[in-house]
Amino acid sequence: MASEAFRPLDDRSLVEYLKSTPSLAEKLGNQFDKLEIKEVGDGNLNFVYIVVSPSGSLVIKQAIPYIRCIGESWPMTKERAYFESSTLQEHGRWCPEQVPEVYHFDRAMCLIGMRYIEPPHIILRKGLIAGIEYPLLAEHISEYLAKTLFHTSLLYLTTTDHKSSVAKYCGNVEMCRLTEQVVFSDPYKLSEYNHWTSPYLDGDAEAIRGDDILKLEVAELKSKFCERAQALIHGDLHTGSVMVTTGSTQVIDPEFGFYGPMGFDVGAFVGNLILAYYSQDGHADQGSSDRRQYKEWILTSISDTWNLFYRKFTDIWDKNDGHGEAYLSDIYNNPELQSLIKQKYMEELFHDSLGFGAAKMIRRIVGVAHVEDFESIKEASKRAECERKALNFAKALLKARRSFHCISEVVSAIRQHDSS
């Protein structure tokens, strides 16, 4: 199939495609009579089909050359499917427990066939809105972050392998440019795409556009995003890119994957948990469910995510000292020095994560794409109140990120901004 030209599939041509592709047909037990096919792309970018036969199942994801929810007026390279598939495979190699297996990739068709993440998995963001606790979430996500980021960095790779991967993912530049625009640019200037809970946040949005110190810090983060090829990052690790049950956590949709700063992934996840935290008051019933306990659970998950990530990442590092070419064992040859190095590395990564996390929060409140956590709060004044707390915290965090030394200090600051 790979030599054929691109054509968007529909329900009917999809079946023909499945029949003629052995690796996919096999997963369905070659049974096509009672196929159930459901299109579930939630509308942003791609077509996503769930395909279930009596003896198997899979997901087909096809990229189309524009942003689906906007239309052909916002073109978007369909090559993103190639980078999504590559990132899934590379991340899956290191963390198969949290990454769906790729069964098939067709570059011409921009089509990925992969494992179906079956019910009761739901999108994490929806679970957070519903107030569901996921006791293993921090454990699983920190595992995913530690394994994928470590093994694709110079802590594990030779500079030869690293540069070769960097070059490959430079090809995903259009997706990087989308991030540059929506995360690092649009929120800080007048843009037709921006919106916010008006009129309540009009002044807040304006203040951001006029905040020189904030813009100075954002420029530094953007420069790291554009220039620092630290690891193969997911590139869009918000709570909508994670599917969960109480016992399972699956990371999906790495179509923004490229060699960038590790903190961009860690920060995206933590930042979106903080958004979830500040949205809770908007979901609290007056009576029994005031979400007070749930907010505590979110704060614990934030702490655990970072602390477990720190432990897992440095544990893998301990086991692989000198494996990559960043710190050769002949030079970094005593425990004190190795410990110093790790401390320094993790401290920078912590500050990067806080900075990127804060930037991702800001853009979700005054930029083009908002989050359901807030959008689902019907009453605008209530929503604005939640959003303003999140915004004020994010601004403070972004500016003062280097003054934080551990995640518990961050959690204290989240509380302070919540009660102010």
Determine if 289 is a binding residue for its own copies (CB under 8 A): no
Residue 80 · residue 132 · CB < 8 Å:
no
Strand segments, DSSP code E, in 130-220 are none
Whether residue 135 is preceded by a cis peptide bond, meaning omega within 30 degrees of 0, is: no
Q: Which stretch binds its own copies (CB under 8 A): 46-54, 129-137, 228-236, 290-298?
A: 228-236
CB contact at 8 A, 366 and 204: yes
284 binds its own copies (CB under 8 A): no
**Contact indicator for 359, 399 with CB cutoff of 8 Å:** no
Closer of 186 and 281 to its own copies (Cβ)? 186
Nearer to its own copies among residue 2 and residue 331 (C-beta): 331
Using DSSP, state whether 72 is helix, strand or coil: strand
Strands 46-53, 36-39: pairing kind = antiparallel
How many Å from the N-terminal Cα to the C-terminal Cα in the chain?
60
Cis peptide bond N-terminal to 199, omega within 30: yes
Does residue 366 touch its own copies according to CB under 8 A?
no
Question: Among residues 222, 351, 382, 415, which is the contact residue for its own copies, using CB under 8 A?
Answer: 222
Using the rule CB under 8 A, which residue among 227, 378, 419, 420 binds its own copies? 227
Q: Rank residues 334 and 381 by Cβ distance to its own copies and give the closer one.
A: 334
Task: Please give the structure tokens belonging to residue 203.
Answer: 């002044």
Binding piece for its own copies, criterion CB under 8 A, among 28-36, 133-141, 298-306, 329-337: 329-337
Restricted to residues 176-215, the positions that interact with its own copies (CB under 8 A) are 176-177, 180, 185, 188-190, 212, 215
Q: Closest CB to its own copies among 160 and 381?
A: 160
Other Cβ atoms less than 10 A from the Cβ of 56: the count is 16
The residue among 125 and 151 lying less far from its own copies, judged by its C-beta, is 151
Q: Which residues pair with 67 in a beta bridge?
A: 71
Q: Which stretch binds its own copies (CB under 8 A): 111-119, 142-150, 171-179, 310-318?
A: 171-179
Whichever of 344 and 405 has its CB closer to its own copies, that residue is 344
- For residue 147 the two structure tokens come to 């394994």
Query: How crowded is residue 237: how many other Cβ atoms within 10 Å of its Cβ?
Result: 26
Give the interface with its own copies as residue ranges (CB under 8 A). Answer: 154, 159-160, 162-164, 166-168, 170-171, 173-174, 176-177, 180, 185, 188-190, 212, 215-216, 219-220, 222-223, 226-230, 325-328, 330-334, 336-337, 340-341, 344
